[in-house]
Structure 1
């Protein structure tokens, strides 16, 4: 779940610095807009599906860790030697790191791919709509709601799948 938070922050930072130049009338000045990356992610079916699969896999590994923890508690109750208990605790720690690494190796590239996909769709949408700059609402101190294109972008994103 921590990786999803990192993903949301990454998207926010990247979106904040995405400067999109479209052909527009320079006499009128640049055309600005912003989106809420959290709402975009929560509405994007590919992200929702991947997040569900990640949570399913994380729950599977957590169940395995819980079984090891129960085994350790049982060993303590049975009066097994400290040395044996410490071996089992070491195994638990090793498995915990292994499972975390496995999840990270499998899902981080997939989350990054979705992030890149969204950034590309933002660029396409901005060009189509004539925006010069699209910012992320998370990195702004204030944004007038008339410049919020989140709902329109979500429609575009989901229709483009």
Structure 2
């Protein structure tokens, strides 16, 4: 029987995070606003520094999914400023061999629960328009398009659709 664990990454996990993040960029090069070639060049101190919030800056929830002890997915919730009332869901990715098992959904739910615990109003993200399956995944979870499409990253014709999930029903 397979055992799925979703846990928060700690600074001591930086090597595992680096490996998984670079794998995600290789597997899905058109899914992120960064590239494997960019991040692969980063020195170790940059990878480690991502886990330490600067005072007054980001609140964050870096998550890893492990199947039978093997890292197979990640997601990163971020509140860019302590005065923000929304979180951003970044770096969501699941290994091709583990897709279709609900792991992405479980990672997303952990970020949603975290945002609700912080009493935030919404979660935002940006979805590459070149992947209709991913767009459907977020729409099925309640995310709605939020604004005009933007350039996925500088120097590419790829676009991304901003999306937003309201965490609380205004009618309640």
Q: Same fold (TM over 0.5)?
A: no
Q: Which structure shows the higher strand fraction?
A: 2
Structure-2-length-normalised TM-score? 0.18
Structure-1-length-normalised TM-score? 0.19
Q: Which structure shows the higher helix fraction?
A: 1
